Amino acid sequence: MAEATDDLKALETQALAELAGCSDEPALRAWNTKYFGDKGLMKAALSAIGKVPKEQRASYGQEANRVKVALESAYSAALDKAKEESLATSLASDKLDVTLPGRPARRGRLHPATQILRDIYAIFADLGFQVYRTNEVETDELNFELLNMPEHHPARDMWDTFFTTTPGTVLRTHTSPGQIRLMKETAPHPIRAILPGMCYRNEAISTRSEIQFFQVEGLVVGEGVTMADLKGTLTAFARRMFGPDRQLRIRSSYFPFTEPSIEVDIDWPKDDPNRDRLTKGTGWLEILGAGMVHPTVLRNGGYDPDKVTGFAFGMGPQRMLMLKHAIDDIRLFWQNDLRFLRQF
């Protein structure tokens, strides 16, 4: 008569043969599920003890345990071996040649607009100017009114304005409103400061104008400040920024917040083929507006125009970059084209 333990022996033989055929870890894990999973064959063999004739149960139980332990230890030995082998192959294939030269890391750099701002700060720092920052979202009062442009003043048309959804606030169209903030904070003491920052204009975008651009405002207030000081400061600045060979031209102009007002141009590089197009045939590019601070503006800032005078200017750093490097399109600055940016 066949012994119930024969089934166990057959199961062991089959299981060991299959185990030997497993070539990698996933195959081994599948084998383990087949025999030792919840519905595994070894589990089933163990619980089959209930169906074994009574007199064979003791020997069946012993044999089942022996087979179970034997299979478990064969499995864990096979698994250890497979893990070792896969580690060895991955070590062999991932091995590092420490003698190879490293891949060069590309160095980041500052955006050209940031570079020129820093150049400007450095030049004015040497001339004794502090840096003062003010709001990009401004009140109508500061952006226009206190700069001597009451509501309906025609000069407001000089700046195409972005209005915010909050009545009475705008995106500043120039850095000039910072003058009022600085004066109110400082009066009655003297001022010598630059005010850099982003400005916004609701304009048609072209090669020479963007809706978003940097400006650097300058403000000097004190006793006996004159137009000669303004001219001297701007000339010293232009010499440092553009070198002694470039020419600077001062023209009279109009701004509501200065009297008298001027504009300053720099000559476009003579050898640049785009010179005519970019300077509308004049050979000059305007880089700033300036003037003697209007008495009304001084008063609005908390100063007595009978005691002090002041000069102010507002310059376009990106225009200056164009001049320095003969860049023919101001729109290149915010396009983030790395081919352009990597040149600086």
| Number of other residues whose CB lies within 10 A of the CB of residue 175 | 27
Q: Residue 148 or residue 261: which is nearer to ligand DAH going by CB? A: 261
Using rule CB under 6 A, residue 174 touches ligand DAH: yes
- CA 188 – CA 238 distance, rounded (Å): 30
CB-nearer residue toward ligand DAH: 117 or 312: 312
DSSP conformational letter for 48? G
Q: Which candidate, 257, 147, 132, places its Cα nearest to that of 194?
A: 132
Is position 258 an interface residue for ligand DAH (rule: CB under 6 A)?
yes
Cβ proximity of 259 and 113 under 8 Å: no
Number of residues that bind ligand DAH (CB under 6 A): 12
Tell me which residue has tokens 């003697």: 292
Amino acid at 304: D
Q: What is the CA radius of gyration of the chain?
A: 41
Smallest distance, Å, CB 173 to ligand DAH?
A: 7
Task: Write down the residue that tokens 């580690």 correspond to.
Answer: 87
Q: How many CB atoms lie within 10 A of CB 99?
A: 5
Length of the chain: 344
Residue 314 interacts with ligand DAH (CB under 6 A)?
Answer: yes
Site mask for ligand DAH (CB under 6 A), range 178-217, x = bound: ---------------------------------------x
- Report, in Å, the least distance between residue 257 CB and ligand DAH: 6
Q: Which one of the spans 68-76, 100-108, 264-272, 312-320 is the region binding ligand DAH (CB under 6 A)?
A: 312-320
Cα–Cα–Cα angle for 218, 240, 123, nearest 5°? 45
Q: Which of 290, 308, 320, 330 binds ligand DAH (CB under 6 A)?
A: 290
Stretch that binds ligand DAH, among 49-57, 114-122, 134-142, 289-297 (CB under 6 A): 289-297
Q: Does 256 bind ligand DAH (CB under 6 A)?
A: no
Neighbours of 266 (CB within 10 A): 22
Pick the binder of ligand DAH from 112, 178, 289, 310 (CB under 6 A): 289
Contact residues toward ligand DAH (CB under 6 A) are 174, 176, 217, 255, 258, 261, 289-291, 312-314
